[in-house]
Amino acid sequence: MTSELFLQAAVSGLLLGGVYGLVASGLSLIFGVLRIINFAHGAVMMLAMYTTYWLFTLGGIDPYLSLLVTGPLFFAIGMVIQRVVIEPNRFAAEHNQLLLTLGLSIFLENLALVLWQGDFRTVRPTYAGASFVIGEALVEVPRLVACGGAVVLALALFAFLRTTDVGKAIRALAEEPEGAMLMGIDVARIRAVAFGIGAGCAAVAGALVTPFFYVAPDVGESFNIMAFVVVVLGGMGNFVGALIGGFIVGLAESLGATLLPGSLKQLVVFGLFVLVLLFRPAGIFGGGRGR
Amino acid sequence: MLPDRATRRVFLKAAGAAAVLGAVPSIGRAQAKEVKLGYILPVTGPLAFEAQLSLNGLQLAVDEINSAGGVKALGGAKLTLLPGDTQQKVELGNSEATRLIDAGVSALIGPFSSLVAYSVRQITEKNKTPFMLLAAVADNLTEGGLRYVFRVQPNGKAMATLTMSNLAEMAKAANAPIKKVAMMHEDGNFGTTMGNHVEGFAAKLGYALVQRIPYSIKSPDFTAELSKVKASKPDLVVISGYYGDSKIIAETAAKLRIGVNALVGLANAAYSNPKFIADNRELTDQLFDGNYWHNPQSPRAKAVFAAYEKRFSSTLTSHGVQAYTVIHVVKDALERAGSADRDKLRDALAKTNLADHILPQDAIKFDDTGENANATPALLQVQGGKPVVVGPARFAEAKPVFPVMRWHG
């Protein structure tokens, strides 16, 4: 493999990895606070992509602007989903809660299929074709913006969790649920907020990838699977670990594509996944909920 | 002696039963005014878009036949389509096929996915029901001495080998012979079959397959794969994929300045798709695709296109053309069989010699494995925002532009 190929693979892998990281951060937060594995994460991302599509096609609103609407919108939707669907079942067995989110995912994907058919839709703003070259590697502007946006949001959320009261309450609840309750934190509200933030992350990630990807009812699936791998890699509940893990997975996938024939690139990613589970189940960065 | 009451009652019952039995044949005949055809397609799931295109074609043909008086040999019996959804899953394909066979369909049409077809054909064979393949392109589907499987479209081998021959001829005529070919294909049954044929045919046609890359259609990024392709410096890149992935590949190839004489789809779901072309005018200009198509010189084809446009407010695609043709082949067989019975229909299908069709080929005739012996893929190129037939020469509506300068990098 030449250095040219390596550089290209590294660049495109890291750019996509940023997006994986954002999606995974949301998932990791939901797991850390609510202890549920949210299978509907990809479906929320898909719905946000459709929203971006409709805002662009009907209202002419640029995807990078409309995410200022889509993000908060899906934060609110996430809170509603948590209150209505998940909260009433929070004492159910863990595997049942998992099935609940899986069922939600199937429902949302098929709802999209019924409403909007299986047609592939695209959002192509004027700058969608823009690209430049670093050394011998091609950098596509929409992918760069997606990665940049993802990192900015993830870091902003990290700051939010560290500095604001709500952020501290979320971390408290994640670390010690009973203690948090005893300290007078409104845990039900914090659970809803955490789920909302997670959904908001997925939604913004969806809006960011729309200019270079396509919109279809099953489009969340590829990101869903990767997000799970990233979350385990980074440590379940470890927010920053998820972001860095995203870069690692993106890079692994891309290098895998260069080294191995075609679709075996997933082998590298899942191989890494299995290795982490075997030797460091709490995640590469530890501090996660490996148990 | 008069029969006593008991025997009289028995006699009356018997007479009544006889009268009813006598009437039943006429009720039976009155109800044979429809012929049921079942379809199994991935109506929900990732191929829902393509499945709908096929379904529209089926519907168009059925309604056309019914409003023209139905199947004349069966007293004007109407065709009825019974739906089945496979979700592109083998278990569902099997269960839906079984359900439709139990519901009394004379023939089964579908199932789009070669993988599903491979399993369903065993069920149709066991139940002696004619199975008209739709879109499924894998060659092994007609192998094994099955008597009830029929395929109208070109199979994988015909598609790949005839397209590569057409390309080689075109390239030679343009003084830019094809020496090195790179191929990317989706990693399922469809893509792998195409890959195998392109690879197997290389020696015969005199090109080297310098890169063969299977990929997963779910992947959001193909930059690494395309860099590998670019590094191997091919004359031509051949892509067998579905809609979403083919689109991303074309976009990325353009941005990477891939440096080839042409980008060619092989039975590609996107590159000759009018919607893809309309949505991506600049990107798709002068893309090639070897695919099943209609005969652009046929007046009947023009009429069918107009009817489709009127009804579905969109352009008829090759999926729809195939579906439309399959229904007419079945109808033609029903007329000759004079019966909706599955075995008689099967025998009539085997003897098909249908020249009145809209495909770019001679008469539709099935060989003894059930393949359409004269099936021909068309070589298409996007010119002026529309896919036009540039080969074979006798069906061509325009000259090919080759090499394509914008892919030169």
Each residue's pLDDT tens digit, B280-302:
888 899 999 999 899 999 999 99
Of the pLDDT bands very low, low, confident and very high (cuts 50, 70, 90), residue B17 is low
- CB < 8 Å to A120, chain B: 49, 243-244, 247
Residue in B213, B243, B247 closest to A262 by CB? B213
Name the pTM for this structure. Answer: 0.75
Task: Evaluate if residue A114 carries a pLDDT over 70.
Answer: yes
- Cα–Cα dist B379/B372, whole Å: 18
Q: Which fold has domain B157-291+378-407?
A: Rossmann fold (3.40.50)
Burial (CB < 10 A; 0-12, 13-18, 19+), residue B10, is exposed
Average pLDDT over residues B112-120: 90
How are beta strands B131-134 and B107-111 bridged, if at all? parallel
Omega cis (within 30) before B296: no
The token duo for A151 is: 């990192």
Of the pLDDT bands very low, low, confident and very high (cuts 50, 70, 90), residue B14 is low
DSSP, res B371: B
Q: What is chain B's mean pLDDT, rounded?
A: 88
Query: Worst-scoring range by mean pLDDT, A86-100, A255-269, B25-39, B163-177?
Result: B25-39
Query: Is the Cβ pair B223, A138 closer than 8 Å?
Result: yes
List the 157-216 stretch of A: residues with Cβ below 8 A of B.
209, 212-214, 216
Q: Give the angle A89-A90-A91 at the CA atoms, nearest 5°.
A: 95
What percent of chain B is modeled with pLDDT above 90? 62
Average pLDDT over residues A259-271: 84
Task: Evaluate if residue B3 carries a pLDDT over 90.
Answer: no
Q: Looking at residue B25, what is its pLDDT?
A: 47
User: Are the C-beta atoms of residues B181 and B233 closer than 8 Å to each other?
Assistant: no
- CB < 8 Å to B222, chain A: 257
Q: Looking at residue B282, what is its pLDDT?
A: 86
User: Are the C-beta atoms of residues B100 and B108 closer than 8 Å to each other?
Assistant: yes
Q: Looking at residue B409, what is its pLDDT?
A: 63
Task: Evaluate if residue B344 carries a pLDDT over 60.
Answer: yes
Residue in A113, A218, A257 closest to B224 by CB? A257
Helix (H, G, I), strand (E, B) or coil at B177: coil
Q: How far is CA B396 from CA B91, B167, B392, in A?
A: 42, 14, 6
- Cα–Cα dist B320/B326, whole Å: 10
pLDDT tens for B150-161 read 999 998 899 999
List where CATH 3.40.50.2300 sits in chain B. Answer: 32-154+298-350, 157-291+378-407
Closest CA to A161 of A64, A239, A107: A239
Alpha-helical (H) ranges within B174-317 are 189-200, 202-205, 223-231, 243-255, 274-279, 281-284, 299-312
- CB < 8 Å to A11, chain B: 223
Q: Which fold has domain B32-154+298-350?
A: Rossmann fold (3.40.50)
Query: Is the Cβ pair B224, A110 closer than 8 Å?
Result: no
Residue B113 or B109, more confident? B109
Residue in B224, B248, B256 closest to A254 by CB? B224
Residue in B184, B220, B223 closest to A8 by CB? B223
- CB < 8 Å to A116, chain B: none
CB count within 10 Å of CB B196 equals 17
Q: How far is CA A143 from CA A100, B141, B254, in A?
A: 33, 41, 15
Q: Kindly state whether A263 is in contact with chain B, defined as any CB-CB distance less than 8 angstroms.
A: yes
Q: Kindly state whether A13 is in contact with chain B, defined as any CB-CB distance less than 8 angstroms.
A: yes
Domains and CATH numbers, chain A: 3-118+128-279 (1.10.3470)
Query: Worst-scoring range by mean pLDDT, A111-115, A262-266, B63-67, B105-109?
Result: A262-266
